[in-house]
Structure 1
Amino acid sequence: MAKTDSTPTTEAQEDDAAGARLSTAPAEDRGQAVPGSFGGVRRPGALGALAWTGREVIGWLRWFWRQLTSMRVALILLLLLSLATIPGSLIPQTSVDSVKADTWKEAHKTLTPIYEKLQLFHVYSSVWFSAIYILLFVSLIGCIVPRTWQFVGQLRGRPPKAPRRLDRLPAYATWRTDADPDEVLAAARRALRRKRFRTVAADDSVASEKGYLREAGNLLFHVSLIVMLVAFASAQLWKYEGGKLVVEGDKFSNTLTQYDDFKSGSLFSTDDLPPFGFQLKGFTGTYERTGPQKGTPRDYRAHISYWEGADGTPRDTTIKVNEPLEVGGSKVYLQGHGYAPKVTIRDGQGTVVYHGAVASLPLDNNITETTVIKVPDYWDKNGKKSQLGFTGNFVPTLDLRTGRMASVFPALDNPVLILTAYKGDLGIDSGLPQSVYKLETKRMKQFMEGDRPFARALKPGETMTLPDGAGSLKFDGISTWATFQISHKPGDMPALAGAVAALIGVAGSLFIQRRRVWVRAVRGADGRTVVELAGLGRSESAKVPEELYELAVALQSAAPPVAEEEPDGTTPSGESSSGESSSGESPSGEDSSGEGSDESSGKSSAKSEEEKAVETAEERAVDKPAGANADATAEEPTRSAEPTDSSEGARA
């Protein structure tokens, strides 16, 4: 007996089987569906596979672009960029302070190879930081451009037509008048335009809207973001900056060989360096001398003479901290200050082999400096050529009571130069770069005085004589030096303008409230004109009820409200249309002759029905609470209206 398969089949399987039986195409031409792919059905053959691959690639690219330009990914990239700047703040950067970075590397020999592979000494120019920045740039551009066109469309939009049921809106007022509907609408349009509403007239209504500058603020903010991004990118591509230490009396020319360190953007050429230069003529530094902030700098001034162009006329000026010199499209900043002892060195033959100021590197806030002097051409007393090296410290203010050879104040109160000497090979002929602030003593021998290293502490004007007639060093005096940073960033001003414009745009989008007001005037069944006013804020706004009340009051002169009559011919106050009581008695229950009434009541003047109606419209034009989430463009708002009392002359 044959065994049957009792597995139930689904309707989809049955439909597929039926379709396969009805199809007249060969089985190899029907293609194969690939679930979860962007390519859809993959047809057989090379062309089918190629077409499917193309659709798949395009689909993935579209998906990647949608993800990259989403606000979520933009925020994630912005967070990653913020986190990526942390290593640049904690780890010394070679581009900022190469000496400090080298010192850190020597103190952390285990971590240095790892950090170098991760490019942590060059964070802001590293591959991973650049990748985050570029992705964020593309993401913001992809987010901003579509929203910009959206804001342009909203800015050019016109107010929508009045909804059919104005009484369902959060702010509403109505009354009846004998004025013509066209006159009421014309007066409403004039009043709204005086309040700077954008108005559009329809058949029986006037639509108006105000607060379009809110969209202009959004548009300005997004355009400003693009300007800032482009400015930052251009500043990185076409920038250049470099540092230079200038000793008092020396000059600097803006050429590549004059810089101590120099870096530039990838699109900047050193041939484009603007021609200018300057000379440091003096330096003035003042410090706090008393109190807990003793030694704190109060004022740094570099007195220079600068010129622009090859044949420019020199002009004197002063550079202060945060007050740079602007010349040739570049800015010259004052960065630091120190001292340069002036020395004269003679060799064993009595010949002057070195004369000048030696810039020393500060070690602390009191400007205790390390001093290194290298003499590559030296002859001893026997006429043998060798090299000399001196190392030690320069102390602006020495106080022996502290027991330390360190300065206690940054000014030149008690300057002392403390040096020891070496003889041998400086290593400068090997071709390897050396720091001018460090003496390589591996191939040198220190001068000795007995069994102790030779060293002297010199004051200005004193001379140190080397042992065995090897020569001498005279401490002639002290000069000052200053470090300058020359910087050119073409995108600074556009970035600043973009930042200011972005703040203005944000302020406009936050504080400007967009709101709509409609006025409808139609002829009622009784021949009188029914005036309706309604307002709606795009966001919660207390101005909508206020503006609606002001508009209602402004329309009273063109459309004065009238009191409605009851079916029995009396007014809502119980009086007849002619002003008399329908029962022949006064409202107080007394007869119409006025007997028994108080004398003072006869002296009081009664207001006319029209004046009462005007006061009623002004006092009772009260809006419902603003902020209800209603859409003024909807034909039928979903909020139900409150019952209307037709007996009132004016209702708000």
Structure 2
Amino acid sequence: MRTALALLLLLAIAAVPGALLPQRPTQPFEVSSWIEQNPTLGRFYDSIGFFDVYSAPWFAAIYLLLFLSLIGCIVPRTRVYLRALRARPPRTPRNLGRLPASATATADEAVADVLERARVELRRQRFRVDVRDDSVAAERGYLREAGNLVFHLSLVVLLVGLAWGALAGYRANVVVPVGQGFANTITSYDDITSGGRFDPESLAPFALTVDRFTAEFETGPVQQGAARVFEADLTVTEEPGAAPYPYRLEVNKPLAVGGTDVHLIQHGYAPRVTVTDGDGNVSFSGVVPFLPQDGNFTSAGAIKAWDSRPEQLAFQGFFLPTAVVDELGPRSVFPDAFEPQLFLNAWYGPPREENGVPENVYSLDVTGLTQITSADGDPFRIRLEPGQTVELPDGRGSITMDGWERWVKLQISRTPGLGLTLGAVVAAVTGLCLSLFVRPRRIWVRARREDGGTLVEVGGLDRADARTGLDEQVDELAQTLGTREDEASAPAQDAGRGANDDGSSPRRAEGHDGGRDDGGERD
């Protein structure tokens, strides 16, 4: 158990770089940028797997050692538990009065009758009972250790389920502008993270079209700008040749198709622009998704018209859904598109050949480009409203904002073994509850014949700390089997007090004194 706890702590420490540094499977561009900004440290981190922590051999080694340690913890404890189930309750201690809870009583029945009543009562309270000579030994709470074993076994099953999902599952993201579609093929994803056993041929062959996206924000004075409604109306075709059907996709209400889940995780704006080059030809026309930067959806993005001639053109800037220009500069004051405007800077450069190297579509690498300036030498700033066109200096072309669309970001994922993982979590919680709330307890009853009746001794012991109710249970059992010694002496004590109250001599009656002395000796 100590080894498992140490490995669990080591696993948590090993996961820290994965939380602090960008990870190549999910943030490849951020990793490249980090290495460029910190070349020496970045190359060192890359060599030891800090940019892909969860696939690193040393992380897998800790994971597997924890798995083996849990198994090594479960197997011997299971053997001990099985032996305990077959064993008889422990023998009755010689002196029950030394136990944490004890009580005595007297009964008129014979010893065998008292022990039989004790056996029946303890069985009714769900104890395992063993009758030996002049005593009864009883024990319950075996489910506590069973809960511990179920909890630890569930952790092993949980690790298996997580490993299965990580190896054979995948998670991908795609940005789809309203009015456009998406087919579930690996080339359609913007980015994808998958396990080593992922098979692209296993992708569910569905397709969907984003017909409409509805976003509503609070316009009143209370919580102004807070999100109220996010809904995407889709047309879904589950497989080629199947009839399409409508589906309303909402946050926390995913679309499930063939074991694949489609979640709505983000939305934003995509200005629709047309770029004309210096030769008068349209070098780019379409919607360009811009990424939100704040709660008012100030969105950043880049427009790349690499096919422009005689020089290639590129633009970078912000789309503001509700634009205001004041002493703070251009900014958006509300997340909905009440006054949409596009603010851009422009670059130009010589045409270049495609080299096949992927680049971030949301940012612009200005290497080899020259910023377009105005007549006074300042950067040429472009401010566009829907339907407006701006001509670039020196006849380099023009750019038109035709309008804007909304886009949605969909997460497409499949996690095999999810049912196994969920079942393991439920079993682990159940086992933990059993280990916390089941009270392992032992009760012993001894009866022996004495003058005038049968003396009954009851003792109890809890096998777990911080338990309550033991004293009460022992007292109740003693009262059930006979008359408690302190109760039997109470009437005599009251009688003695009455004699003193009416003015008689404080000398006690012989019978009364003998009862007190006898009771004192028994205690």
* Shorter-chain TM band: 0.7 to 0.9
| Structure 2: distance between partners of 1:106 and 1:344 | 34
Give 1:125-144 correspondences, 5 Å limit.
125-144=55-74
| Structure 1: distance between partners of 2:241 and 2:109 | 84
Aligned to 1:506: 432
Percent of residue pairs bearing the same amino acid type: 44
Is this contact kept in 1: 2:105–2:478, CA < 8 A?
no
Cα deviation, residue 93, structure 1: 2.4
Is 2:271 the counterpart of 1:400? no
Equivalent in 129, 132, 137 of residue 207 of structure 1: 137
Cα deviation, residue 364, structure 1: 4.1
1:529/1:437 Cα in 2 relative to 1: closer, same or farther (>3 Å)? closer
Aligned to 1:302: 232
| Structure 1: distance between partners of 2:98 and 2:318 | 87
Structure 2 letter corresponding to 1:90 = L
Is 2:148 the counterpart of 1:218? yes
Is 2:468 the counterpart of 1:538? no
| Structure 1: distance between partners of 2:390 and 2:346 | 10
1:538/1:368 Cα in 2 relative to 1: closer, same or farther (>3 Å)? closer
Structure 1 letter corresponding to 2:412 = I
1:431/1:203 Cα in 2 relative to 1: closer, same or farther (>3 Å)? same
CA-to-aligned-CA distance 1:404-430 (integer Å, 9 cap, x gap): 234333321221123455555453522
Cα deviation, residue 379, structure 1: 5.6
Is this contact kept in 2: 1:426–1:444, CA < 8 A?
no
CA-to-aligned-CA distance 1:61-101 (integer Å, 9 cap, x gap): xxxxxxxxxx3332222222222222222222233334444
Aligned to 1:551: 477
Is 2:195 the counterpart of 1:270? no
Cα deviation, residue 195, structure 1: 1.7
1:367/1:331 Cα in 2 relative to 1: closer, same or farther (>3 Å)? same
Is this contact kept in 2: 1:254–1:274, CA < 8 A?
yes
Secondary structure of 2:157's aligned partner: helix
Is this contact kept in 2: 1:148–1:223, CA < 8 A?
no
CA-to-aligned-CA distance 1:223-268 (integer Å, 9 cap, x gap): 2222222222222222211111111111112211111111211122
Is 2:285 the counterpart of 1:355? yes
Cα deviation, residue 167, structure 1: 4.5
| Structure 1: distance between partners of 2:368 and 2:50 | 34
With 473-482 and 170-179 compared, the bigger mean Cα shift is at: 170-179
Q: Once superposed, what is the RMSD of the aligned Cα atoms?
A: 3.8
CA-to-aligned-CA distance 1:275-309 (integer Å, 9 cap, x gap): 22322222233445577976554543333232323
Is 2:170 the counterpart of 1:254? no
Aligned to 1:480: 406
Between the two proteins, the alignment pairs up a number of residues equal to 507
Q: What residue ranges of structure 1 are gaps of 5+ in the alignment?
A: 1-70, 381-385, 565-571, 574-586, 590-595, 599-608, 617-644
More strand by share: 2
| Structure 1: distance between partners of 2:485 and 2:382 | 106
Give 1:438-453 correspondences, 5 Å limit.
438-443=363-368, 450=375, 452=377
Structure 2 letter corresponding to 1:432 = V
Equivalent in 326, 335, 343 of residue 410 of structure 1: 335
Equivalent in 177, 189, 194 of residue 119 of structure 2: 189
Is this contact kept in 2: 1:421–1:455, CA < 8 A?
yes
1:119/1:366 Cα in 2 relative to 1: closer, same or farther (>3 Å)? farther
Cα deviation, residue 459, structure 1: 0.8
Cα deviation, residue 188, structure 1: 1.7
Is 2:235 the counterpart of 1:340? no
Is this contact kept in 1: 2:315–2:346, CA < 8 A?
yes
Cα deviation, residue 132, structure 1: 2.2
Structure 1 letter corresponding to 2:81 = F
Is this contact kept in 1: 2:105–2:479, CA < 8 A?
no
Aligned to 1:113: 43
Secondary structure of 1:405's aligned partner: strand
Secondary structure of 1:430's aligned partner: coil
Secondary structure of 1:399's aligned partner: strand
Secondary structure of 2:334's aligned partner: coil
1:218/1:434 Cα in 2 relative to 1: closer, same or farther (>3 Å)? closer
| Structure 2: distance between partners of 1:530 and 1:536 | 20
Q: What residue ranges of structure 2 are gaps of 5+ in the alignment?
A: 493-497, 505-510
1:166/1:439 Cα in 2 relative to 1: closer, same or farther (>3 Å)? closer
Aligned to 1:44: none
Aligned to 1:433: 358
| Structure 1: distance between partners of 2:341 and 2:127 | 79
With 100-109 and 250-259 compared, the bigger mean Cα shift is at: 100-109
| Structure 2: distance between partners of 1:162 and 1:646 | 28
